[in-house]
Structure 1
Amino acid sequence: MQVLLNQLVYFSFLQSLFLLFVYLFSPKSRQNINGYLIFFIIILTVGLSGRIAYLSEVVEDNYRWVVFSEFSTLMFGPTIYLFTKSSLYGERFNIRNLYHYLPALLYNVLVVLFFILPSDDELRYRAASGEQMRIILLFVGFGLAFNITYWLRSVGLFLKFKRSIQSELSYVVRSRFFANFLIAIGCCLLCWTIMYTMSLLGFQILNRVAWQTVWISIALIILFIAFYALRSPELFKITGLSTSKKYSNSKLSQSDLEQLELKLKELMEQKKPYLNARLLKAELAEMLEVSSPEVARLLNERIGMNFFEYVNYYRVREFVELAKSEKYKNLTLFGLAQEAGFNSKTTFNKSFKSLMGESPSDYFKNQTS
């Protein structure tokens, strides 16, 4: 187990150096990559360097260099949170965000005071008396609670984003890859929690091998994400999304809303903007010559649908009409759906069943029977 772990440490360290080298000497990569992801890699490189120095025996078997790796522990949570926030909402780095790292700074100072500065004799005395384990459990517990808190905040941001995009976008955002990233980090934190709980109960599971396994797992996940961010940066970018302000300040009267509803219906039936698979609410508002919040108010108060549901309602209607046309008789059901403006087979099936009460295939079977 220890041999495998050591090999993973070397692999992660070399991979982090490679990615930093690519980002440093490739202007295109620097433009595409999320800055917090680069910071992730720097954190990993610093943390892994201590472990590498210890394994290579250049520091004469001084385990303090492994403790040096713990400087990265409280950096993970805030960076995951800020990476999530910037990826989903397009927020750029702001120096005020550094306050998220203040607990990590204090934590690292305490690591130096308790684990690096004391003499070997004092450390051996603590270990023999059991005091060292109590201190370690205190540090690990704080780090665990801190990182879980920021992970939960990241998950909250992601779920909020998933709920909000249906009021802004007419298409499905490919967020599964990002969701898997948060799930993977959550699994690592769960393993960390189980080991910590077992240690509190007296089971000696929180040993060096077990703890380093969790730490390296997180490192490999982040390096994997960094690799894909370099290879496919579009996975982490949501272009054109702008959240609307609340429409409470809208000055449109009920009569204005009635006229706007008629204008919207005419626009949808004559110009068919829903055929644009990546139609935004802001674009529809521009066509209507009103603000995006006023479109939201119209949809909510007069029509009873959000933007996503409303546009897909017209796409389903278009799909049914296309299916009756001889021109498109050679297309598959999803091929017809794409012609009608859908960009996702899952969304098409859900929208169709929600409106028509049955699946597309069942619908056409019943039409021909």
Structure 2
Amino acid sequence: MQTFRLIDFIIFLGISQGIFLAIAIQMIQNKNRLANRVLSWILGIATIMLTGRFFFTVETKTVAFFRLALFVDVFVFIFGPLLYLYYRRLIFKEQVKYRLHYINFIPAVGMFTYHLWTYQYSYQEFVLMARSGDFVIPFFIVEITGILFNFYFWYRCFQLFQSYSREEKKNLSYAQDVTSYLRTFLWVVVIFLALWVIGFVQYYFFDIYLSFINYNMIWILIPVFIYIIGFYSLKQPDIFRMPLSIKPKHKSHEGLDLKQIQDLNSKLEEIMVKQKVYLNHRLTLVDLAKTLDISTNKMSWLLNNIHKTNFYDYINKYRVEAFIEKIQNGEHHHHTLLALSIDSGFNSKSTFNRAFKMFVNDTPREYVKKLGAV
């Protein structure tokens, strides 16, 4: 009787959690709905892959299960495109819902065709051919293609992340928690790919086996991956999506002459100094543009070309100045520094600390100490 090993238990746990999370995420209403729909597909694929691996690790003598366990490798070529689709729908807003082009699934179709081709051999013939090395070259081609294909989509996701980080500072005056999630997501995926590359190089070029870095380790990490993205998505708030521009914008001032620039600057100073709109924790470029009754493009141009800054830095400079004014007035004797930063318009401690460090070149607490105000 086949023993049930630790890796079998971990894989089985990942399967059960994957099924639960794929269903639970779909039940969340009005929270990143389009992105979560793709995420459910990713979780479903990961669950299917784990199921195939489960049948493979328990070394079942059922031929049909063994062949199906190998067949799930097709999903390796679907994971990358879906990961990119999830990223794009999660953090960017597009007028037309982005869909994957069929060309992205050609490798998966090729893998599917290859597996169908292997079915012309019986189970016994397949095992004998595998042991004699007849499948070494086909397996090598398939695996190197899978590695390069998934690295390609990981890089495209990395580009989206960089683009999002830039757009965030152009459109928001605050930082969203999703940034750390996206960064973690990328790191987890690249760790999988790195382990895959190590296992690939070990097998095909050195014929060695390392007990702490091997193929089984990848399958232990997949359930961890399911936990990370699944449970985070259950509690993740609906995020502010950035507009994604495919075509580069023309760098023009959209007809702003000198008098218009002066008038806009005068109005901008008034709403910043007198109305103190920066105290709005979730102030966006759209909000500021509406207040000035201009387009967001004109607002961006005014900040970038006249004030030589982006929206994020422009707003947070006023917030830092408001915080410093509170310190100079001695308000820190009655309130914590975090409370004063919130009263100054910041939405989180991390955003406040980064902004203060950038403009003052010191931490808030050290700054207060140097003033002798503590």
The answer as to whether partners of 1:274 and 1:314 remain within 8 angstroms in 2 is: yes
The residue number in structure 2 matching 1:336 is 340
Moved more, 249-258 or 120-129: 120-129
The residue number in structure 2 matching 1:346 is 350
The residue number in structure 1 matching 2:14 is 12
Task: Within 5 Å, give how 1:29-108 maps onto structure 2.
Answer: 32=33, 34-53=36-55, 55=58, 57=60, 59-60=62-63, 63-90=66-93, 94-108=98-112
The residue number in structure 1 matching 2:260 is 256
- CA deviation map 1:96-127 (0-9, x unaligned): 5444223212222212323x432235424433
Residue 317 (structure 1) aligned to one of 306, 321, 327: 321
Counterpart amino acid of 2:112? N
- CA deviation map 1:228-268 (0-9, x unaligned): 212x131xx42264468655261111331122112101110
The residue number in structure 2 matching 1:170 is 173
Deviation at 1:272, TM superposition (A): 0.4
Task: Within 5 Å, give how 1:166-315 maps onto structure 2.
Answer: 166-174=169-177, 175-205=179-209, 210-230=214-234, 232-234=235-237, 237-239=238-240, 241-242=242-243, 248=252, 250-315=254-319
Deviation at 1:349, TM superposition (A): 2.7
Tell me the SS of whatever aligns to 1:368: coil
RMSD across aligned C-alpha pairs, in angstroms? Answer: 3.0
Counterpart amino acid of 1:101? F
Deviation at 1:221, TM superposition (A): 0.3
Equivalent residues, number: 363
When residues 226 and 98 of structure 1 are mapped into structure 2, their CA distance, relative to the original with a 3 A threshold, is farther
When residues 266 and 243 of structure 1 are mapped into structure 2, their CA distance, relative to the original with a 3 A threshold, is farther
Tell me the SS of whatever aligns to 1:248: coil
When residues 322 and 269 of structure 1 are mapped into structure 2, their CA distance, relative to the original with a 3 A threshold, is same
Moved more, 241-250 or 84-93: 241-250
CA distance in 1, matches of 2:279, 2:173: 10
Residue 161 (structure 2) aligned to one of 158, 162, 169: 158
Which structure carries more helix by proportion? Answer: 1
- CA deviation map 1:40-98 (0-9, x unaligned): 12212333333445548483585323202212111111111111111111458545544
When residues 61 and 291 of structure 1 are mapped into structure 2, their CA distance, relative to the original with a 3 A threshold, is closer
Runs of 4+ in 1 over 6 A off after TM superposition: none
Tell me the SS of whatever aligns to 1:171: coil
The answer as to whether partners of 1:247 and 1:293 remain within 8 angstroms in 2 is: no
- CA deviation map 1:6-31 (0-9, x unaligned): 1122112222222344456x464897
Moved more, 126-135 or 139-148: 126-135
Moved more, 75-84 or 105-114: 105-114
Moved more, 290-299 or 340-349: 340-349
TM-score (norm 2): 0.86
The answer as to whether partners of 2:77 and 2:150 remain within 8 angstroms in 1 is: yes
Percent identical across equivalent pairs? 27
Counterpart amino acid of 1:229? S
The answer as to whether partners of 1:250 and 1:294 remain within 8 angstroms in 2 is: yes
Moved more, 49-58 or 271-280: 49-58
5+ long unaligned stretches in structure 1: none
Tell me the SS of whatever aligns to 1:277: coil
CA distance in 1, matches of 2:31, 2:106: 27
